[in-house]
Structure 1
């Protein structure tokens, strides 16, 4: 049996799953681990050791690979009976302490998810984080499961695709997700170490037809086109100064947000007609030499307006220069102290030199128009609140539905739009607030339970149109009835409401009947 296959069999037999770990140490310890504190989880395992003669295999694996503790050869042999401790050392998973015990050399953890193809669970191998090593990360660190990786996996579209490109694959998580709906995935990275771990993860989880290529950005796929491109590019803005670590997994080697600009501009020449791209990125808010403000979203729109692609950019958050610096310095494993302060100074000097007032972070969805069509969607917006709870398959499923709705109505004139019979989406609720003693509401709001959990102040007429949209009456029929009820001019009301109807269809509040 191949060593990786032996490892897979042992992990299955041990029941090394997310649910098993949560049961092992409970919700408080699981939450503490997300806050980079291992103490509650270690205490839970110590308590278990005190109550049981022999730790279960799942506890041994968790102690070794997640908590960074030394485990005995006997325990590791028992937890990995097919591979054995010696086999795990040969694979590079553990290293001997020289006293008969072993410590993890790599992070190995279960990862559970849900997407349009259903529920799934994998094991992901990556480099050890500072939680296990107690030290800042190496510059060639290969990142495992993190907030950005789960964000992008949720942003991915999952309609069937022939060839998909994962640009900057890292440990291969996005390529593995993409493979669930794609015939073939090409995964690239500048880091040979990342490609080695991506290959290991694909084999460990028995995922085939992922082709790995070494090189920077689009160089390994020069002249090729894809049905879909996904990327968590190395977009982190890093000062180009001595002493500032340049982590391969997050730093593309360019100044400011130039890496994001380069990726966005380059995608057009690598998408098939009708092909889509889903990416993460960040962009700088600046002031120019004259003191004029340059919007981050506006700068992104300027880049994309020149590409000939449809685009939908959603800014999810903004940070001040100091917040941004502190976030990414901590991400590299440096904790507050003199070294931390020196790095903050370097970041702030870099931002000040370029007039950066803040940094936005968010999603970018792109599409190459199909069949000679022209660009029909140019949208950039801020959605800084929490996502809706009604998207178990990720925000990508919502955006894919929104693109389909946009396509269905973009070619309709007002006459054809008025003939549609629409229905309000099932996740939309309405709330009304009244001043005491008043019959008419002072505030009407529509709330979207899924998607971006949008809150819309529609006004009386639009709220009534949404409320009457049950798939039976046409938009024009509803507007005519409202005009009579409100004693309003039907033509003027129609001119007011139809643009709003287009917007509500595009964002998923109203659906085609």
Structure 2
């Protein structure tokens, strides 16, 4: 079935099936849900599937009940051949021949068996009242071994889950999903946005996204084109992007990861362009990779891309990978295997490009932007610790605190009643010396959210504890001065920068703060 309009900026793609057949397919999937699959696989089968052991999952499934859900799992998640009669039963009322013609299955209805040509995965949010969705993508290299096709459409993976979990879920008007792929981000946006627009350069991805939307009872404005080009001149309240951010020498590659631009140019282009499509107070969240060169701080590089655009920015560096580690990661992701000629040739060429380009490493992380009319706040944090998911509420709350700090001078800060975050933990390390035990170091740690851990001294720890009594910060400082050989003014001068950092990181909450928005 051809695209309805295969030109950039066209009227959008057709789904894999006609509307009537989509309804039939949806009926067949009625019990093919997250819980239904989990019940058939059992604990060991689910664990096997989560670690990519498709063979182990299939073995557990064969011991489960012989029913349509088990057969759909074998077909669309495990990539196994399924007997024609069983496949016909599982897909009813959708005719088997229609499934083959539509590109869902490979094989012939009069043959002995069929197999899936695509992945159809049940998916649901971990929120109360969530309904099941079905996400359509290509089968991964764990199911279909060997290098992926150039136009491979990625399914639900760690990157897409990271972005979904980091996106604030406040009600918004217009939402935009840049590089929608299989449409998983658009599904999440649809839950809290009045309208959803999704773009992708790949016609194949747009067809899959259209099918995902139709099967899940959704309707989106799908547009073909590169990055923000299909929405030039428009404004959105929320933008998410999981772009083809892989750092390389450029050129042709895999649609889902390679932009064709050298180095980190695609992320620079996107970050420079996002302010132009954000409505006032609009938010954008995107995954990004960036070049790290010897002697260059990653924050300086990203800062040059976002400075002067009127947006508050919070960037996280979650990982840093050397060239060899980075190349191995993405070659494996594309289905290449160590020891093969393909692997060796691509590995050597890619590492040689890193060396000739002076790239020492690649930073990987997330960037959030908010369009503001005020003097923008720019923050760049290494976030290497394990965090509590979902973290989208924390992303939103950071922006609220950052704006409060920007608008609060020292006098107002001293008059404010700050509240310690719930469940803060203080830990101390004591050294044994001639005079007995003495505290050598102590830390404050958050039990939830971003789980920051920072070094503090006795004075800061006492100040945080004093805030729990509900007194203004100035009163807490006055009380602290009684135990220290310093005046309240001297203590305030010393601790206010630390207090601002504690507020920015969420150890201390400004007046009127509430819990994260999930």
Counterpart position of 1:503: 501
Q: What's the TM-score once normalised by structure 2's chain length?
A: 0.90
Counterpart position of 1:37: 53
- Paired residues for 1:412-491 under 5 Å: 412-436=408-432, 438=436, 440-470=438-468, 472-491=470-489
2:239 to 229, 236, 242: 229
Deviates more, 1:456-465 or 1:75-84: 75-84
Aligned to 1:282, the other structure's residue is in SS state strand
Counterpart position of 1:220: 230
Aligned to 1:235, the other structure's residue is in SS state coil
1:397 to 384, 393, 396: 393
- Paired residues for 1:340-379 under 5 Å: 340-370=343-373, 373-375=374-376, 377-379=377-379
Residues 429, 447 of structure 1: 8 Å contact kept: yes
**1:254 maps to 2:256:** no
Deviates more, 1:499-508 or 1:351-360: 499-508
**What does the per-residue CA deviation read over 1:458-505, in whole Å, with 9 as the maximum and x for residues that have no partner?**
211111111122252111101110110223332121112112112211
Please report how far the alpha carbon of residue 32 of structure 1 lies from its aligned counterpart in structure 2 after TM superposition: 2.7
Aligned to 2:310, the other structure's residue is in SS state coil
Q: C-alpha separation between the residues in 1 aligned to 2:96 and 2:506?
A: 53
Residues 69, 103 of structure 1: 8 Å contact kept: yes
Q: C-alpha separation between the residues in 2 aligned to 1:403 and 1:306?
A: 18
Q: C-alpha separation between the residues in 2 aligned to 1:105 and 1:148?
A: 23
Please report how far the alpha carbon of residue 88 of structure 1 lies from its aligned counterpart in structure 2 after TM superposition: 2.4
Residues 427, 443 of structure 2: 8 Å contact kept: yes
- Paired residues for 1:257-296 under 5 Å: 257-287=264-294, 293-296=295-298
Aligned to 1:157, the other structure's residue is in SS state coil
Q: C-alpha separation between the residues in 1 aligned to 2:41 and 2:481?
A: 62
Q: C-alpha separation between the residues in 1 aligned to 2:221 and 2:499?
A: 44
**1:329 maps to 2:342:** no
Q: What's the TM-score once normalised by structure 1's chain length?
A: 0.91
Q: C-alpha separation between the residues in 2 aligned to 1:431 and 1:295?
A: 31
1:174 to 185, 188, 203: 185
Residues 247, 291 of structure 2: 8 Å contact kept: no
Deviates more, 1:39-48 or 1:269-278: 39-48
Structure 1 gap segments, 5+ residues each: 288-292
Residues 250, 258 of structure 2: 8 Å contact kept: no
Q: C-alpha separation between the residues in 2 aligned to 1:165 and 1:498?
A: 39
Please give the root-mean-square deviation of Cα atoms over the aligned residues, in Å. Answer: 1.9
**1:65 maps to 2:83:** no
Please report how far the alpha carbon of residue 438 of structure 1 lies from its aligned counterpart in structure 2 after TM superposition: 4.5
**What does the per-residue CA deviation read over 1:247-292, in whole Å, with 9 as the maximum and x for residues that have no partner?**
11111110000111111111121111211110000001124xxxxx
Please report how far the alpha carbon of residue 440 of structure 1 lies from its aligned counterpart in structure 2 after TM superposition: 4.9
Residues 423, 512 of structure 1: 8 Å contact kept: yes
Please report how far the alpha carbon of residue 120 of structure 1 lies from its aligned counterpart in structure 2 after TM superposition: 4.5
**What does the per-residue CA deviation read over 1:283-328, in whole Å, with 9 as the maximum and x for residues that have no partner?**
01124xxxxx223332111111142321111100010000000111
Say if 1:144 and 1:334 are closer, same or farther in 2 by CA, change over 3 A. Answer: same
**Pairs aligned (count):** 489
Counterpart position of 2:155: 144
Counterpart position of 2:29: 11
1:110 to 119, 122, 129: 122
Structure 2 gap segments, 5+ residues each: 1-18, 512-518
